[in-house]
Each structure stands twice: as structure tokens, then as C-alpha cells.
Amino acid sequence: MTTAEISRERPIRTGSYPELTWQAVLVGYFLGAIITLSIGYASLILGFSIEGSELAAILGFGILRGIMRRTSIIENNINQTIASAVNGASAGMMFSVPALFILGQTEFNPVLMVFGCIAGGVLGIAFIIPLRKQMIDFERLAYPGGIAVAAILKSPGAGLHKAILLLGGAAVSAGVHSISQLTGFENWQLGNLIGMPQYMNGVWYISLLTIGVGFLAGKGGVYFIVGGYVCYWILAPLLAALGLLPTPQTLTEMATSMPSYLRLQLFRPVGIGMLIGGALTGIALALPLVVSAVRSMQMAAKTKTPLSQDEMPIRLLYIGISLATLLLLVIAYNSVAEMGLLRGVIMALLGTLWIWVAGVVLSECIGRTNWSPLSGMTLIAVTILIIISSGLGDKAAIISSVMVGAAACVAMAQATDLMLDLKTGYLVGAIPRRQQIGQFLGTWLGPILVMILIFVLHKAYTLGSDRLPAPQGTALASMISGILGGEVPVEKYVAGAGLGALLSASGIGGLGILVGLGFYLPFNIVLTYTIGTLLRLWSDWKKGKQWSEGVGVPVAAGLIVGEALVGVGFALYYVITGALGSA
């Protein structure tokens, strides 16, 4: 290629590179909406969420560079910042709002809930921005997730190839899930075919999404699947050998099967206890990080350099915090008719204070360990709010505490997501102020999408069912029932909480929660998830980590996106046809 041809193909640029452009904003909204629906759907099945930044960066190359012929890395960085900000609501709301549906308290105001989550998102971002310089520039916290996204942004040639792989995986996954939905073939009874005892539960869930999530989690997923195998392939045979399982006649009288009996009467309540115990222990272990975070804030307050101009004006942040707190007050006051002004003010102020403290703690945790005790912080927030709302009656206490608690959860998710994105921006030479503006621009869309998604999925599949277990929402609902004196298997919860606490104290971040999820979830999901975990271990071993990240990760991400979008599409179809049929 001659010099003239190169100049025509790659025109010489003068001035600064494009960064916060309307193209990046619109692509960020588009990709953020797809990722939010996909990951939100997946989190209701598997109980944990996935950062959307990496997916957005890969897909951003396909659209910005492949279709729109844009060449700026920092422009794609803005795209992934906005897209992951939209997705921030999926983690925050999917951990909390399903509890209302599982408890049968669906008579809340969804519009107020959405505004509350938007206000929470603004608070989470505004509180964490002043800490950017201290945590990223001075303390140089690792933020491994942010480093991974920066690596993608710096390899533009591979980016387009990864986008093609992702779309291919999405097409295959969408096709398989469409066939599964149309034929009703959702589980494969392999255990019956090879003569396994019923208590070993050899049923496989037909889901490429589950395999994709297992691949992305990699070694981290081993602890999750261990929980399931301990239940059904170790404890269940032991109980059978000791004659402690019900006879077939007893099961017939109870109108249940052996796998259902084991899960609903034994492993699920223990798993819920493990989720709660593991989460709370994680908070206790994070106390040194809390001290470190407070010192970071003190240092940040004293730091005034010319580079401070890189940040958004602090007065503007104060205005944002004031308005968002006022909005949270309005929402708390109007959440239920029984709420008085004084109680509403207390809930709003304590909610705001918790957002500030928890956002700092989580940002420190994820910066040092890439692990975030978000579920534990949510449990504590809702517990505090229920205590404040005691005396209003169970229904009013549940609705008001979960509404304000969901806002706090979204705030925490936005704070940690922004710090990961700012770390990425730091590594690729982005201007922090423009990323911060991008994060604010993405805050409003996620809560709207997630609220609609929750109503559609609950109408089609029922939250808390085997089809959509919603583990984190179920754990929150069980804890609320326990606080309000509901009928809960306390002894199993306490035993599980003790086991979860011991595992989390082992030094492996989140171990109690991961093993507890294995106890809680249907074993057919764990079996299928195992395929993804084994594939990732094999590819890292035989093909190398570079191949896993360059080929395996985009394909796995596509498997998640394809099945999730088809699942949401079928849910919409069931709701619409159901509504037309009942009209």
C-alpha cells in the first residue's frame, strides 16, 4: 500500500481524539440495554451478576469501528462506561426487588421504585467520584476487572474478531433455546437412562447460557459447583445409607419427588442460611478495608492539585447529592400510606448515609480483591430499614424497606462500576470528568428496563420458581420473614449461616456465598454449569489463557446474550398472548 493509499485509509488526525461523542452515547445506550436484559435474566437463574464493561467494549468495537468506522479507543471507553452504567441497575435491583414478589407484596408503586433507584444511582456516583484520585492515582488499587477491559480496548484488531465470535455464539444459543422453548425439552433425564438413584438427581438443564456463565467464571465457579455435588452426590447417598430419607410411599403421600424433597426440605433452607452467614461474615472481614477507605477519604479531601480539573466540579456533586437525597425522601414518604414524615426523613437520611459508607467499602473491596460483598451490604441495609419501619404493619414495612433498600443497592452497584471504569480510563488515557458524565448519563435507563423485565418475567415464569429461582431475592425474602416473625425453618437457617460464616472466614473471598448458591440452586443448573467450568479449565490448560480470553470469552458471552434475549422474548410472548386470551 502506498503512502497516499494509507493516508486515504487512515486520515491523519489533528487535535484531541473523539471521546464523549453522541455516537458513543447512543451505542452505549443500545449495548447497555441488551446487556442489562441479558445479565438481569441470567442473574435471576444463577444468583449472581456479571460486569457488563467487557461485553460492551467487545461489542463496541464491532459497531463503532466495524460499522461506523470510528477509531478512537477512548470513545469506545465512553461507550463501555455508559453501557455498564445502564447495567448497574441489573445487579442492584435483581438482588432486592424480587423479594417483594416472592413475599407476595406486589402492590407497590413501580414508578416510585424506578425514581428511587435512579436517585440511588446518582448518590452512589456522586459520593465515589471524590475518591477516584486517592484510590486509583495514589493508592493504585488493582481493580482487575478494569485492567481486563483496558486490555480489550488496547487491542482493536482483536476487538472486531471478538465481536464476530460473540455474535456467532449468540446465534447458536438463541437457536438452541428457541427449540427448547418450542418443544418443551428443557431438561435431559440422563440419570434415569443410566440407572442412577433418584436422590442423586442426574437431570441436566438444557441451557447454553448456563454453560457460558460457567466458562466466564472459570476457577471461581469450582466452589459453586462443589456445593451442589456435596448435596446430591455425597450427603444424599449418606442419608440414604443411614435410612434417613423418606420411603417412596411417604413421598407419594407428600405428593413430591425425592429430588424436590431434598431441595425444598433440606438443601435450600441450609443454602439460604449460608448466603446470609457468608455475606455478613464478608462484611466483618472487610472492616480493615473500611478503615483504609476512611483514610482515603481524608487524604482525598486534603488533595488539591491542578489535575483536580480532571474531575467534575465538587459543587455540582453537592447539588446532585442534595437533590437525590430530597428525591429519596419523597419516595420514602410516599412508599406506603402509613409512612409519616419523620419516619420518612429518618429512612431517607439513613439510606443516604448507608449509600456513602457501603459505596466506599465496596469500592475498596473490589479494588483490592475483585470481589464485592454487595449482597451482604443489601441485607444489612434492608434490616436497618425494617427496624425503622417497624410498627407500620408487615406489608408497609416490607414494601417501604425494600423500596429504599433497592435504591441503596443500585447506588452501591453504580459506585463499584464507576471505579472499575475509571481504572480502565486511567490505563487508556481517558479524561475522568468525561467518564463521570458518561456514568451519570447511563444511570436513568437501567432501572426502567429492569423494572419492566421483572414484571414481564414474573408474569411469565413466576419469580422464586424452579424456572427463575432468584436466589438472592429469596434469601432477602427469607431474612425479612424471619425478622417479622414469619414461619421459617430457623434451625436450618442457623446451621447454614454458621457453615457459610466458617467458609467465608477461610480466607477465600465469597466462599460461603458461592458454596451456599450450590446448596440453594436446583442441581440440574449446577450440572450444566459444570460443563462451562470444565471447558474453561481445559482451555486454560491446553490452549492457553490467551486463547481462552481471545476466543472462549467472546463465544461464552454470546451464549449468554443469545439465550437471555430469546428467554425475554418468549416471556413477552406469553404475557401478551395471556393478556389477549383473558380479554
Selection from 49, 96, 44 nearest residue 372 by Cα: 49
Residues 511, 185: Cα–Cα separation, whole Å: 33
More confident residue, 294 or 462: 462
pLDDT at 329: 86
Average pLDDT, the chain: 81
Selection from 406, 378, 445, 438 nearest residue 101 by Cα: 406
Work out the angle at residue 401's Cα, subtended by the Cα atoms of residues 396 and 402, and round it to the nearest 5 degrees: 105
> Residue 493 corresponds to which cell in the numbers above?
437457617
pLDDT confidence tier of residue 159, bands split at 50, 70 and 90 = low
Q: Chain-centre distance of CA 308, in angstroms?
A: 32
Residues 370, 350: Cα–Cα separation, whole Å: 27
Task: Provide, rounded to the nearest whole percent, the portion of the chain with pLDDT above 70.
Answer: 84
Q: Which residues pair with 204 in a beta bridge?
A: 188
pLDDT at 371: 57
β-pairing, 187-188 vs 204-205, is antiparallel
Residues 416, 412: Cα–Cα separation, whole Å: 6
Q: For residue range 473-488, what is the model confidence (pLDDT) as tens digits? A: 887 888 788 777 766 6
Distances from the Cα of 345 to the Cαs of 112, 326, 329, 351, 356, in angstroms?
A: 16, 9, 6, 10, 17
Residue 447 has pLDDT above 90, yes or no: yes
Non-local (6+) Cβ contacts of 430 within 8 A are 19, 74, 77, 78, 424
Q: Which residues pair with 205 in a beta bridge?
A: 187
Contact, 32 vs 83, CB < 8 A?
yes
Task: Provide, rounded to the nearest whole percent, the portion of the chain with pLDDT above 90.
Answer: 15
Average pLDDT over residues 216-228: 82
Residues 31, 131: Cα–Cα separation, whole Å: 28
Radius of gyration, alpha carbons of the chain: 24
Residue 119 has pLDDT above 70, yes or no: yes
Residue 146 has pLDDT above 60, yes or no: yes
Residues 394, 486: Cα–Cα separation, whole Å: 10
pLDDT confidence tier of residue 264, bands split at 50, 70 and 90 = confident
Average pLDDT over residues 423-434: 87
From the number of C-beta atoms within 10 Å of its C-beta (0-12, 13-18, 19+), residue 193 rates as exposed
More confident residue, 245 or 67: 245
Residues 574, 570: Cα–Cα separation, whole Å: 6
From the number of C-beta atoms within 10 Å of its C-beta (0-12, 13-18, 19+), residue 151 rates as middle
pLDDT at 47: 66
Q: What is the pTM of this model?
A: 0.77
Contact, 212 vs 554, CB < 8 A?
no
Q: For residue range 76-87, what is the model confidence (pLDDT) as tens digits? A: 889 989 999 998
Q: Which residues pair with 188 in a beta bridge?
A: 204
Q: Which residues pair with 187 in a beta bridge?
A: 205
Selection from 92, 109, 121, 100 nearest residue 378 by Cα: 92
Selection from 568, 569, 517 nearest residue 95 by Cα: 517
What distance, in Å, lies between the first and last C-alpha atoms of the chain? 66
Residues 311, 109: Cα–Cα separation, whole Å: 36
The listed range with the strongest mean pLDDT (95-99, 387-391, 533-537) is: 533-537
Residues 9, 122: Cα–Cα separation, whole Å: 42
Residue 532 has pLDDT above 70, yes or no: yes
Contact, 246 vs 254, CB < 8 A?
yes
> Residue 255 corresponds to which cell in the numbers above?
405428593
pLDDT at 487: 63
Residue 219 has pLDDT above 70, yes or no: yes
Residue 369 has pLDDT above 60, yes or no: no
Residues 348, 503: Cα–Cα separation, whole Å: 35
Output phi, psi for 205, to 5 deg: -80, 125
Q: What residue type is 227 in one-letter code?
A: G
pLDDT at 78: 92
> Residue 336 corresponds to which cell in the numbers above?
406506603
Q: For 439-455, b where at least 16 C-beta lie within 10 A, e where not — what string?
A: bbbbbbbbbbbbbebbb
Non-local (6+) Cβ contacts of 366 within 8 A are 143, 145, 372, 416, 419, 420
From the number of C-beta atoms within 10 Å of its C-beta (0-12, 13-18, 19+), residue 146 rates as buried
Residue 535 has pLDDT above 90, yes or no: yes
Q: What residue type is 1 in one-letter code?
A: M
Contact, 201 vs 212, CB < 8 A?
no
Lowest mean pLDDT among 223-237, 418-432, 569-583: 569-583
Output phi, psi for 533, to 5 deg: -65, -45
More confident residue, 477 or 364: 477
